Amino acid sequence: AATLASQARSIAAWLERLGLGGKRILLIFPQSLEFIAAFFGCVYAGAISVPAPMPDPSRVARTLPRLQGILADAAPAAVLTNRDGVGMAAEVAAHLPELTKNLQWIAFEDCPWELETQWHRPAIEPHTPTHLQYTSGSTSTPKGTIITHANVLANVRELRDAMQYSPDARSVVWEPYFHDDGLIQGLIQPIFTGYPCFLMAPAAFVARPVRWLQAMSRYRATHTTGPNFAYELCIRKISDEERDKLDLSSC
């Protein structure tokens, strides 16, 4: 937690130095600890983060329309990603020119971490936006919702009480960070309540659904979350032999 807070303060001071404090920042990361630090760095800078999926140059027709819709609606001032994301930008821009036009791209790894001491707490009120949450865009153009700090706090408090989260809880999360449940219940809730959370890449789950349940068994998870299709995938793809090796009694 101390390392996360330190990184977030450094990122916030960096964003301020770049003139991006209070601006909309597109976050493009794989499922990683880097994203968590970047998200809270935006919070610490009073910036409005816009979590979005990492585009796949090999699947342009499927992955770029959603990003295109988000770019058009959110009009971010910059993109914060990792070096792999920066390297991918030029390739993707051949199909989506607006991804680099008038957009400042910055890499997580290039943050001057010594800037932590220069961070100053921004003026944040309950009604201040913390991030923009977008729909998947599977049936229409992605639609965004402004989420405020008050919204986030109300959500995590309700979830904590309804789901009985406590410091003794342990969760396993594979839902992507740009999904509302993956962000709020998967990442913010463990930090808010103070319990360990084990992260898994969505692709790792989809490739072998048993990995989700194996992680829950191995780490004695008390909580997890997922959409209907995830449970249906487990039923179809996990063999009886694999199920016999699981211990989900802690859930």
Task: List, in sequence order, the alpha helices (H) in 53-99.
Answer: 60-74, 83-93
Residue appearing with tokens 């001491």? 117
What's the rounded Cα separation, in Å, for the pair 223 and 207? 22
Strand pairing report for 197-199 and 171-173: parallel
pLDDT digits (tens, 9 = 90+) for 184-227: 999 999 999 999 999 999 999 999 999 999 999 999 999 998 99
C-beta of residue 227 within 8 angstroms of C-beta of residue 202: no
pLDDT at 93 over 90: no
User: Phi first, then psi: what are they for 235, rounded to 5°?
Assistant: -60, -40
Quick one: tokens of 65? 């329309």
Vertex 198 angle, CA 192 and 200, to 5° = 120
pLDDT digits (tens, 9 = 90+) for 3-34: 999 999 999 999 999 999 999 999 999 888 99
